[in-house]
Amino acid sequence: MPISVMEPNYLNKVVLTSAPKNCSNTDIIKAVERALDKLNFDFSEKIENVVIKPNLCYYWDYSTGETTDPRVVSAVIDYVRKSLGEDVKIVIAEADASAMKTNYSFKVLGYEKLAAEKNVGLMNLSYGEIMEKKVKVKDVELTLPINKVLLDADLIINMPKIKTHNIVGITCALKNMFGAIAKPRKYAYHNMLSQVIVGANKIVRSDIIVVDGIIVRGSSPKKLGIVLAGNNPLTTDFIAAEIMGFNPKKVEYLDIAEKEGIGSAESIELVEDCADFEQVKKVFPSHNYFLHKFLWKLQLKMLNAYATVVGDVIPPVLKQ
């Protein structure tokens, strides 16, 4: 993947910036502002409804590196209001997951408090007007339940984490939009997870991506103190994958996404602002994905053998 360091103004641009080591609220605000200033998104069009989609996959605090830091979301809200005016309607939206209820997640992770402080809405994407949207990925037709709030939004800001994933390798912008599917029991999609991730992103297009890399998750949580900004989820994920030590071309859903026209990984233009890309890659807590998959398969075989001997049943979610 050719990467050059310059500042063009089109969809292959990704900005990497950093906050100082202590990552105070002020530091985070400045890092987000610099990233979005460098991204140079065109806010001149009429935008009335903004949806922010963080990663709130479970009840883990942001300090674990698993969920989006509300301080980063707060900084984005301030930037949007500065760009579009105080009257713009902003909603923070997330869908239920197999083992997570969004309304509890909003409360536990500080988003109810944030919404009250910033006068923004909270939306559980698993409720309300749900549209069954058809999409074709690799000649397979999928039907995915998507909340109309996402389809009607004037601007969607995708706010994922940088973290590794046991099944697909990495999770960042594209995988975060998979989390917006209205169906709570998303493990039902795990037998074709890469295709469904791509399908969700073909239906719901991210206009701006702001990646929370303040605390990341690889083999362990680590304070990395970075923010990524992009206006295409594929190109943003390519940079995130390299930071995590992955060859983006070998991450299945990134390969499918590029072939399906979500974006192009050719000549990604990386803008480094107070951050060194190569140094960030060196300090990320790398996760041995292939070793983990091997050990998981070994454990599953042992569990199946045990179940056969004692006559027990393996939960379906473990078989995915």
- DSSP β-bridge partners for residue 130: 147
Instruction: Pick 3 or 250 by higher pLDDT.
Output: 250
pLDDT(314) > 60: no
CATH class of 3-287: alpha beta
Instruction: Pick 307 or 89 by higher pLDDT.
Output: 89
pLDDT tens string 289-302: 566 666 667 777 78
Q: How far apart are CA 278 and CA 174, in angstroms?
A: 23
Confidence of residue 10 (pLDDT cuts 50, 70, 90): very low
Domain segments of the chain as ranges: 3-287
pLDDT tens string 154-207: 999 999 999 998 788 899 999 999 999 999 988 889 889 999 999 999 999 999
Average pLDDT over every residue of 76-96 = 98
CA angle 163-155-182, nearest 5°? 60
